[in-house]
Amino acid sequence: MSTEPGVQAIIVFDGVCHLCNAWVQFLLRFDRAEQFRFASMQSDSGRRLLTEHGLNPDDPNSFLLLSEGRARTDSDAILHVLHLLGGVWRLSAVFRLIPVALRDPLYRWIARNRYRLFGRRDTCLLPTPETAQRFLH
């Protein structure tokens, strides 16, 4: 993974999922250091990154976090994103006490049912002019 200087992570997310878009909006709001870049799974960059890391871009059940030379998915990815945000968000580390064998099945169930539970857009949400530079195409 190559990133720009100062960029610590790339997040590949489902651009038509309401829950996933809410997650990106949350990160845009609280990532004051602008350390995250985003690629929708529907974009050329997102599809390429998913494929390179063994995830099916046509049937993704996880988002992909690339940071510190590692690829993370499922609950580990979420917890690492919150860790990178710093501050009060690091308190989420307490969830690491729950074994991954319990955390990941819950994550995967939500991921498999995300459209039914949270809804789906017809098209990917477009970034604002202020955040456009943080999205890969």
Residue 40, phi then psi, degrees to nearest 5 = -75, 150
Q: What is the pLDDT of residue 128?
A: 87
Residue 23, phi then psi, degrees to nearest 5 = -60, -45
With both helix axes pointing from N to C terminus, report the angle between 100-112 and 74-85 in degrees, rounded to the nearest 10: 100
Whole-model pTM over 0.85: yes
- Domains of the chain are 9-121 (3.40.30)
Measured from the Cβ of residue 48, the count of other Cβ atoms closer than 10 Å reads 14
Q: What is the pLDDT of residue 5?
A: 46
Give the C-alpha separation, 132 to 59, whole Å. 26
Q: What is the pLDDT along the chain (137 residues), one digit of tens a residue?
A: 444 445 589 999 999 999 999 999 999 999 999 999 999 999 999 999 999 999 998 877 788 999 999 999 999 999 999 999 999 999 999 999 999 999 999 999 999 999 999 999 887 778 888 999 999 98
Q: What is the pLDDT of residue 3?
A: 42
Q: What is the pLDDT of residue 4?
A: 46
In the numeric block, which tokens belong to residue 51? Answer: 């494929």
